[in-house]
Structure 1
Amino acid sequence: MGKKIKVGLVGIGNCFSGLIQGIEYYRRNPKQQVIGLMHEKIGDYSIYDMEFVAGFDVGINKIGKTINEAIYESPNMVNWVPKQKMPKSSGRVYESPLLDGVGIWVENKVKPVKSKKTQEQITKEIKRKLDETGVEIIVSYLPVGSDKVTQYWAQTCLDTNTAFVNCIPSFIASEGKWGRKFAEKKIPVIGDDIKGQVGATIVHRTLAKLCDDRGTKIEKTYQINVGGNTDFLNMKEQERLVSKRISKTESVQSQLKQRLADDQIYVGPSDFIPFLGNTKLMFMRIEGRQWANIPYNMEVRLEVDDKANSAGIVIDAVRLAKLALDRKMGGPIIPACAYLMKHPPKQMSDPEAKNELEKFIKG
């Protein structure tokens, strides 16, 4: 067994619940192939070398609980391993500042704690817990639109020499000012906005690139997503979606030799359908022209469990951040950002990013 990677979690929602339960699922089923990773081992690190030593949240029903208890609390929906069979964790969930982390649509579901502490007091406590638990890497899975809280946690990482994995479309790794801060302090950062294993945007950009590479003329395209968890409920608040739309749209546009006009491409979350739960549906269409100006179109319907789709990617991101820490590298880890994230500092095609990341892993 390798040395443990000590991980802190920000936003103890469905995504982390699926990630942690998935690791336990494989632990209980050792003959099962571990699906969804680049490699079973990255460096010396397997999926079992991650230790979740601290969590941070604003939900009154999660703060103070152990991580293994908190991941089953409402409004979380993942239940792949029965709660009573989940091993007890020594890591606990502590209070995070609220700032812009809870949107108006989800406030009555999340039930944020009415804190009596000042932000300064909360920050002091967070830094103490990071030090006590030895957190090396913070993974942020905050709700979309949590720009101020994301910047708060990025600064906390800088203040405490902790690596940062940013899974949401609030731009840190891909924003020059923040990227330079992490580089100057020799702290790794991987972001922004995680690509699913086989998610809506990875499928869309791959098919758009295929059409482009095969010489067709793409004229217009859309991607519509619906789901039933708090992620989609949160995204009903249009003001929180600005960076999400930029991230998803640029991920597709970056694969085209000639950009589409803004009014000829739509990529974005579209609606909340409660009974879908963690099921995410994507509807995609590409319209264009072939030889002799003859029109063609394609439509794709993708149905995935939204949380199973991201867990393996996060596990790879954590192990790659640890590899960078071991090698004393700082700043955005470009190949990891390009392969794992929708809005990296440098866009690449997925085969190119995978090739560059394999080189990085080999050192």
Structure 2
Amino acid sequence: MKDVIRTEKLPIKLWLKENEMEEGALEQARNLANLPFAFKHIAIMPDTHQGYGMPIGAILATKGAVIPNAVGVDIGCGMCSLRTNLTHIETPKLKEIMSIIRKTVPVGFNRHETPQDEVWMPVKKENLPIVEQEYKSALYQVGTLGGGNHFIEIQNGSDGYIWIMIHSGSRNIGFTVANHYNDIAKEKNRALGEKVPKDLAFIPEDSEYFDLYWNEMHYCIDFALANRKLMMERTKLAFTEILPEVEFADFINKPHNFATWEEHFGESVIVHRKGATRARKGEWGMIPGSQGTRSFLVKGKGNAESFESCSHGAGRVMSRTQARKTLDLEEERKMLTDQGVLHAIRHRGDLDEAPSSYKDIDEVMANQEALVDVQVSLQPLAVIKG
């Protein structure tokens, strides 16, 4: 690690320097370290930036409580990658493939015009009141990208192969579950006189709502994976329509907004990862840069101090509003065009996802050398953004 803060109830262990954290994220990390049920220490990844209640790029282990906002509103958000057997792809063919993907994968607030086959939906096993309420709507949203930093990217790997990477989450079903249980947590905390920092309302393990949230959260994690799988299937079909000889292998999936029971430092605890990826020893993962920089396929080193975790990306260096106001549209477009990337920066409103709004991915990777080993570096060729 690069730094440790010892002024709070628990240490805050940083994989970047304290002075490299924005003040809002630092304050949120201090709030986590003073929670009465927080365990051992707080881990902060090098891509960290301010979130709601808990910094993006943070890991919180707890005993006896779960925090909906420490999972986040996009429950199960994550990435998947797939290797093709292609070693090269001509730009005209790539443009044709991207055009088909845009027609078959809705982006932003858009959804499918008809419900998708229920075979793509996770099986409902538990008492899931909010999932039941949102299920029919979710049939129109499975296989859709969403907005923000979500993407479909075609990449050229250092292993000599063309790769596909997709970043998306649980869409409105996850958002609704997250907000429903966060509201319940806030109400119950107030009724019990619990004083908790802003946006860190919690559900005790002995509460009737603990299992309800836990079951619905994990359904949303499964839905997010199903969502990515269906988009990957549509992307594969786009490839095979233009390049019938293509084959696919080595599917990798990693969520980075979730909570789960794990063993750490000899105890069973609830590990919340918000914008952080699990990186057990030998476990595959993905760390994307921006649409103008490299991404990486990695294997975890199982570092105990990070709760066996690593960053989930490069992390923002400026807010979306700041990026749209201050970045130069033509400069950002030229930077991507000069690199030969079929990019998604068309209007000033797209600048919130411009490469300059993100941290230097090479610096982020250097800061977490003790957490992961790079297996394949991936150069962007074409990008669809939400």
TM range (shorter): under 0.3
TM-score, scaled to structure 1: 0.27
Higher relative contact order (CA 8 A, sep 6+): 2
- The structure where strand makes up a greater share of residues is 2
Taking structure 2 as the reference length, the TM-score comes to 0.26
Higher helix share: 1
